[in-house]
Amino acid sequence: MGLMTGKKGVIFGVSNTHGIAYGIAKQLFDEGADIAFTYAGEIMEKRVRPIAQGMNAKVIMSCDVTKEDEVQAVFNELEKTYGKIDFVVHAVAFANREDLTGDFINTSKEGWDIAMGVSAYSLVTLTRCAQPIMNEGGSILALTYLGSEKVVPSYNVMGVAKAALEASARYLADNMGKYGVRVNCISAGAVKTLAASGIDGFGKMLKAGVLKAPLKRNVTLEDVGKTGLYLLSDLSSGVTGEIVHVDCGCHCVYTSADEMEQMTR
pLDDT tens per residue across all 265 residues of the chain = 899 999 999 999 999 999 999 999 999 999 999 999 999 988 999 999 999 999 999 999 999 999 999 999 999 999 999 999 999 999 999 999 999 988 999 999 999 999 999 999 999 999 999 999 999 999 999 999 999 999 988 899 999 999 999 999 999 999 999 999 999 999 998 876 655 555 565 567 777 778 888 888 989 999 999 999 999 999 999 999 999 999 989 898 876 556 656 656 6
Closest-CA residue to 82 (of 63, 51, 59, 49):
59
Residue 193, pLDDT score:
60
Residue 70, pLDDT score:
98
Residue 159, pLDDT score:
97
DSSP string for 191-253: ---TTGGGSTTHHHHHHHHHHH-TTSS---HHHHHHHHHHHHSGGGTT--S-EEEESTTGGG-
Helix, strand, coil percentages (3-state) for the chain, rounded to 5, are 50, 15, 30
Given 145, 171, 179, 230, the catalytic residue: 145
**What are the CB-based long-range contacts (under 8 Å, 24+) for 130-134?**
130/75, 130/85, 130/88, 131/176, 131/179, 131/181, 132/75, 132/79, 133/75, 133/78, 133/79, 133/82, 133/83, 133/84, 133/85, 134/84, 134/85, 134/86, 134/88, 134/176, 134/179, 134/181
**CA-angle at 165, arms to 215 and 249, nearest 5°:** 10
Residue 28, pLDDT score:
98
Given 22, 39, 82, 155, the catalytic residue: 155
Residue 153, pLDDT score:
87
Query: Which class in CATH covers the domain with range 8-203+215-249?
Result: alpha beta
Q: Residue ranges per domain, the chain?
A: 8-203+215-249
Closest-CA residue to 115 (of 100, 93, 97):
93
Is 155 noted as a catalytic residue in this protein? yes
Is 145 noted as a catalytic residue in this protein? yes
Instruction: Please tell me the pTM assigned to this model.
Output: 0.93
Closest-CA residue to 12 (of 99, 83, 97, 70):
70
How far is the C-alpha of 37 from the C-alpha of 22, rounded, in Å? 11
Residues 6+ apart with CB under 8 A from 85: 8, 9, 10, 78, 130, 133, 134, 135, 138
Residue 261, pLDDT score:
63
- Does residue 145 sit in helix, strand or coil? coil
